[in-house]
Amino acid sequence: MPGRPYHHGNLRSALLAAAERTVRERGVQDLSLRELARDVGVSHGAPRRHFPDRQALLDALAETGFDRLGDELRTAVDAVGDDFEARLRATAVAYIRFATADPALLDLMFAVKHREQAEHLQQAAERAFSVMLEVILQGQAEGRLEPGDPERVGLVLFATIQGIAALLNGGMVVPEQLDELLDDSIAHFLRGSRTAV
């Protein structure tokens, strides 16, 4: 391994890693391509080969964010056995943990203007949310949730979970209230869905 080769070798992933760190620690508005290039030891023009502009880097960050979210949801659900309610709660907790551990990244993931043209990103998002969909399907199969389009049934819960994360990140709910709020939300969801129609 040479001391400082002309070609960085893995500049793209090095930039993404550094960017992810900055976004997490200081927010998107403090992310500078030039600073990133300095951190990684490359000239300020170099990132352009891999990310045509700042937005392209942010889109790439969003995509890896969805990948990581999917992984974390999957891991959380798998770790908890196959009781429906336990899996439901584990999914919610994992989502909220992700969202609060990296608020700026979540914003980035929701901030995609051109969702149609960003095919990769769309797919990454669907992979992530497929974990939640599976849990909904299980709930329907066990008669714990109303039948019908699982996406529709799950949307209310997804919205609530996302809202809880937003309230936490906005400081409108303090962490001490989280358990209670989550219990209430899941209880509402289950009670509301059981004998629906």
Taking alpha carbons only, the member of 76, 85, 73, 94 closest to residue 190 is 85
Structure token pair of residue 150: 């699982």
What is the 8-class DSSP label of residue 102? Answer: S
Q: How many CA atoms lie within 13 A of 44 on its CB side?
A: 5
> Which partner from the list DNA, a copy of itself, none does 15 bind, CB cut-off 5 to 8 Å by kind?
none
* 73/98 Cα distance (integer angstroms): 9
Specify whether the CB–CB gap between 61 and 20 falls below 8 A: yes
Tell me which stretch binds a copy of itself (CB under 8 A): 7-15, 17-25, 63-71, 163-171. Answer: 163-171
Chosen residue from 1, 2, 3, 6 binding DNA by CB under 7 A: 6
User: Shortest approach of DNA to residue 25 CB, angstroms?
Assistant: 15
Site for a copy of itself in 21-50 (CB under 8 A): 29
Q: How many CB atoms lie within 10 A of CB 153?
A: 21
> Which partner from the list DNA, a copy of itself, none does 45 bind, CB cut-off 5 to 8 Å by kind?
DNA
C-alpha to C-alpha distances, 124 to 51, 79, 80, 129, 163, nearest whole angstrom: 19, 22, 24, 9, 21
101 binds a copy of itself, rule: CB under 8 A: no
Positions that interact with DNA (CB under 7 A):
6-9, 11, 31-35, 37, 42-46, 48-50, 52-55
Positions that interact with a copy of itself (CB under 8 A):
29, 107, 109-112, 115, 125, 152, 155-156, 158-164, 166-167, 169-173, 177, 180-181, 184-185, 187-189, 191-193, 196
